[in-house]
Amino acid sequence: MKHFYSLLFSFTLVTLFVCFSCTEDYVSDPLDPRLVMYTEDGSDVAGAMFNDQLWTSVLNVEFLFGGYIDEPKIRSYPSHDSIVLVFEGQMENAPSENYDIEFHLGDVSIDQISDMTSLNQRHILIDGLHNSCHVTGYTSGVPASQVTGHLYFRKVTPETMSGTFYVKIGEVMEISYGRFDYRLSVIDLDLR
Partner 1 sequence: MGKVIYMFIFLYASLVCQAQFSAMTGVNFCKVRSSYLKNDRAAVGFQAGLSIAYHPVKNLKVMSFEHELLFNYKGYRQDLDKNYNLYYGYVSGSFLIKFKTGTIVHLRTGLELSELVYASVEDRYDTFNKTDLGVILGISFFESKPVSFYIRGSYGLLPMLDYYDIDAYGAFHGKIHDIRNNTLSLGIKYNFIQL
Select from 2-10, 56-64, 108-116, 171-179 the region that touches partner 1 (CB under 8 A): 171-179
Nearest distance in Å: CB 146, partner 1: 18
For residues 70 and 181, which CB has a smaller minimum distance to partner 1 in the complex?
181
Interface with partner 1, residue 163, by CB under 8 A: yes
CB 134 within 8 A of CB 146: no
156 binds partner 1 (CB under 8 A): no
Long-range contacts of 149-153 (CB under 8 A, 24+ apart): 149/175, 150/123, 150/124, 150/125, 150/126, 151/85, 151/103, 151/105, 151/123, 151/124, 151/126, 152/122, 152/123, 152/124, 153/119, 153/120, 153/121, 153/122, 153/124
Min dist. Cβ of residue 33 to partner 1 (A): 5
Rounded to a whole number of angstroms, the minimum distance from the CB of residue 191 to partner 1 is 39
**CA-closest candidate to residue 23, choices 71, 87, 76, 56:** 71
Taking the complex as a whole, how short is the minimal distance between the CB of residue 74 and partner 1, in angstroms? 18
165 sits near partner 1 (criterion: CB under 8 A): yes
27 is a site residue for partner 1 (CB under 8 A)? yes
Alpha-carbon distance 3 to 7, whole Å?
A: 6
Contact residues for 186 (Cβ-Cβ < 8 A; gap 6+): 68, 70, 113
In the bound complex, what is the minimum distance in angstroms from residue 36's beta carbon to partner 1? 11
Q: Applying CB under 8 A, which of residues 120, 164, 173, 189 lies at the interface with partner 1?
A: 164
- The binding site for partner 1 (CB under 8 A) comprises 27-28, 30-34, 37-38, 49, 52, 54, 92, 150, 152, 154, 163-166, 176-179
